[in-house]
Structure 1
Amino acid sequence: MQKRTAAAMVAAVVAMWSLGWMLGSSAGAEDSGAAPVVPRITDPPEAPVPAAGTGRDPLTPTETARARELALAGLADAGPTGPTDVTGAAGPELLAVRRADGDGTARRADVLTYDYRGDKLVKVAVDLTAGRVTGTFTATGMQPPATPREVAAAVDLLWRHDLGELMRERFRQATGAAPATAAELQPGAQTYTGEPCAVHRCVLLLLHRPGEPYVDLTDLVVDLSAGTVVRLP
């Protein structure tokens, strides 16, 4: 019993001595003006994005930019019969840049554009490894999804058209208030290929305001090719 009591006393003395040493060390650090060490956690640095991928890797930003540059350079024609974009400016409307399957020895891309003057889809095949265009293909009646730029143009057309008042009235009926400006609207769209848009590039708009339901506009077709809006029967 006495041995255990003595051992306990020794342990208590050691603990008090250790605590006093720690407090003394801390006080000394404060007196010396040394800043406390604060643990820090840092994110590992992001690995640099390679300029070119391999095999079935997605296109890198560098490859995408290069494919776009090569394709648009080949389509550049500022003449009266050259392609125009959704705003009517010279040059085609860029829709998408996609990796294309190859023979395993070259990185390839397909650049999809739309020529609003001729109302045709234009696909440009690009060999990124060789740095050249390998083919240009056109088609009519094929309508890939609209780009954000095309959707914005469609919203602007509807807003300024006579049928824009009908759109605002539907917002008023559905939500209690009509939008004061087009900037209030959260836009979306899907391409429309029925009559009268069998050839033209047309979209149906999906519009709403944040926190509010979508308003039914499925009978209003925005014809981007003709620059107008048509109401379906």
Structure 2
Amino acid sequence: MQKRTTAAMVAAVVAVATLGWTLGSSAGADDPGAAPAVPRITEPPEAPVPASGTGRDPLTPAEITRARDLALAGLAVTGPGGATDVTGAAGPELLTIRRADGEPTARRADVLAYDYRSDKLVKVAVDLTAGRVTGTFAATGMQPPATPREVAAAVDLLWRHDLGDLMRERFRQATGAAPATAAELQPSAQTYTGEPCTAHRCVMLLLHRPGEPYVDLTDLVVDLSAGTVVRLP
């Protein structure tokens, strides 16, 4: 009986030791005072973005690219000839691409662009399900928000214009130092539709440097269509 009891105790000790080794308690095996190992947690991989959405889902990146390509191809055939973008290059200035409301079974998009040659906002209706342009529309007097590319062009125009000296002087008066380069400025803009810009694409710039207040430039309007800057009375 004693032999059996001793054998059982030895087996229990071996089992406990084996269990501890299996659980991987390496921190503390040699150093009982060491902190326990932190378990590694891995993030699950991101699910692949589908090529096409369904119903009223937002447009996928692939659908946005497809809508842009179909719209530009459609404008080349049916749109205003000789359209130019904000830099004067051939082709309209792409503003935004958005999902169009319609039948939930069809995927549709509206592509908005601006033709600087004719100063018209152009909308191209695209049926992504059928892969074709269903309509092209143009109108004057409609000015959606400026794109980052247009804002950058406006900053460049103001910086190189004679009124850029006035802008730099206002920075000096407001902050103690005039900007040395346009790259120092953090810009945003709002479209302006009053006189003398009722027929052109114009913006008012909001400029500041990081950590500093905005400088009042509300009397300066950048006319992107004419490539100049005007001062309001």
The normalised TM-score by structure 2 is: 0.84
1:26-37 alignment runs, 5 A limit: none
Contact 2:92–2:116, Cα closer than 8 Å, also in 1: yes
2: CA distance, partners of 1:114 / 1:152: 16
CA distance in structure 1 between the aligned counterparts of 2:67 and 2:227, rounded to whole angstroms: 30
**1:97-129 superposed Cα distances (whole Å, 9 cap, x missing partner):** 000011223100000000000000000000000
Identify the residue that residue 218 of structure 2 maps to in structure 1. 218
- Matched residue, 1:59: 59
**Structure 1 unmatched runs, 5+:** 1-16, 31-35
Q: 2:120: which partner in 1?
A: 120
**In 1, are the aligned partners of 2:112 and 2:124 still within 8 Å (CA)?**
yes
SS at match of 1:206: strand
1:44 corresponds in structure 2 to: 44
Report how far residue 71 of structure 1 moved.
0.3
Q: Percent identity?
A: 86
Residue aligning to 2:161: 161
Alignment of 1:66-215 (within 5 A): 66-76=66-76, 81-215=81-215
Aligned residues: 209
Equivalents in 2 of 1:21, 1:61: separation in Å? Answer: 56
Normalised TM-score (structure 1)? 0.84
Residue of structure 1 in register with 2:9 after alignment: none
CA RMSD, 1 decimal = 2.6
Q: Matched residues in 2 for 1:212 and 1:202: separation?
A: 26
1: CA distance, partners of 2:72 / 2:103: 24
Amino acid at match of 2:132: R
- Which contiguous aligned blocks of 4+ residues in structure 1 show a shift greater than 2 angstroms? 24-27
Matched-pair contact (CA < 8 Å) for 2:110–2:125? yes
97-106 or 218-227, which deviates more: 97-106
2:135 maps to a residue whose letter is G
Q: Which residue identity does 1:226 align to in structure 2?
A: A
Please list the CA deviations of residues 134-163 of structure 1 after superposition, one character each: whole Å capped at 9, or x if unmatched: 000000000000000000000000000000
- Please tell me the residue identity of whatever aligns with 2:168: R
The CA deviation string for residues 159-215 of structure 1, in whole angstroms up to 9 with x for no partner, is: 000000000000000000000000000010000000000010000000000000000
Give the deviation of 1:38 after TM superposition. 5.6
Deviation at 1:61, TM superposition (A): 0.4
The residue that corresponds to 2:10 in the other structure is: none
Q: Give the Cα–Cα distance (whole angstroms) in 1 for the partners of residues 176 and 193 of structure 2.
A: 33
Looking at structure 1, the residues matched to 76 and 153 of structure 2 have their Cα atoms a distance apart, in angstroms, of 22
Q: Distance in 2 between matches of 1:42 and 1:157?
A: 49
